[in-house]
Amino acid sequence: MQPPPPAPAANRRTSRLPRGARRLQLLRAAQDVFVAQGFHAAAMDDIADRAGVSKPVLYQHFPGKRELYLALLEEQVSELAARVAEAMAATDNNRSRVDAAVGAYFDFIDADGEAFRLVFESDLRNDVDVRTIVDRGTGACVEAIAQVIAADTGADAERALLLASGLTGLAESSARWWLPRKGTVSRDEAVALMSALAWRGISGFPRVDGGLPLA
């Protein structure tokens, strides 16, 4: 991949920022570089240049490239988990919940910058710390959905988690397949198709209150 273009000259001045704002600026610059180049090819020089800061400023916030990558990865998996949790909490209509859960994955994967690649296509997938962060984020998504399934169906924890894992797997894989083809299938149509597929299966599970189906 080609490296990202340097930041515009107007943005390359190292002005004083509050620590939190500076950290966010550095994370955004790192995201651009890591997505374009991958972890191994990226250099702290590239990230500092992209952010328009000196390397000492970058090292004040992150002691090394790996720590910067892990911080960025943690931010991205937390965002995905928050999207899914919000989808589950936004309504008590289960069909709408399925739509929202699938949509959360599509929106995360379709977000600007293709940051999803850090989560699902990292060139550090076999790194223990990377795997731990990704698994924790995936687990949070599955748990949020499983809690709803268990509450509504009376399924035990392991079965609810298995069903939730199936739904998140469907949402992730279909969203990643769709992204390069979104010019031919709109986001809304793709989400509707995949949530309909999921709903036709999950709606057959009876509610715990009276044995009626989830629908």
Residues 50-57, mean pLDDT to the nearest whole number = 93
Domain harbouring 193, CATH code: 1.10.357.10
Last residue of a domain, one of 41, 63, 85: 63
* 173 and 73 in a common domain: yes
Of the pLDDT bands very low, low, confident and very high (cuts 50, 70, 90), residue 39 is very high
Range of the domain at 23: 9-63
pLDDT one-digit tens code per residue, 20-34: 889 999 999 999 999
The answer, yes or no, to whether residue 10 has pLDDT greater than 50, is no
Task: Please state the pTM of the whole predicted model.
Answer: 0.81
- Band of the pLDDT at 170, cuts 50, 70, 90? very high
CA–CA distance, 158 with 164 (Å, rounded to integer):
10
pLDDT of residue 50: 95
Q: What is the pLDDT of residues 80-90, one digit of tens each?
A: 999 999 999 99
Is there a single domain that holds both residue 57 and residue 134?
Answer: no
Give the distance from CA 15 to its chain's centroid: 31
The predicted pLDDT at position 203 comes to 64
Backbone region of residue 17 per phi and psi (left: phi > 0; alpha: psi in -120 to 50; beta: other values): beta
Tell me, yes or no, whether 156 and 115 share the same domain. Answer: yes
pLDDT of residue 19: 78
User: Sorting pLDDT into bands at 50, 70 and 90, what band is 200?
Assistant: confident
Q: Is 176 a domain residue?
A: yes
Q: Are 162 and 143 in contact (CB under 8 A)?
A: no
Of 59 and 94, the structure prediction assigns the larger pLDDT to 59
Q: Are the beta carbons of 14 and 24 closer than 8 angstroms?
A: no
Domain identity same for 74 and 152? yes
What is the total count of domains within the chain? 2
Do both 82 and 119 map to the same domain? Answer: yes
CATH of the domain at 20: 1.10.10.60
Are both 117 and 185 inside the same structural domain?
yes
Under a CB-based contact definition with an 8 Å cutoff, are residues 207 and 103 in contact? no
pLDDT of 179 reads 94
User: Of 131, 129, 115, 125, which Cα lies nearest the Cα of 28?
Assistant: 115
User: Cβ atoms within 10 A of the Cβ of 110, count?
Assistant: 15
The whole-chain average pLDDT of the chain stands at 87
Same domain, 23 and 99: no
**172 and 73 share one domain:** yes
The pLDDT > 70 percentage for the chain reads: 87
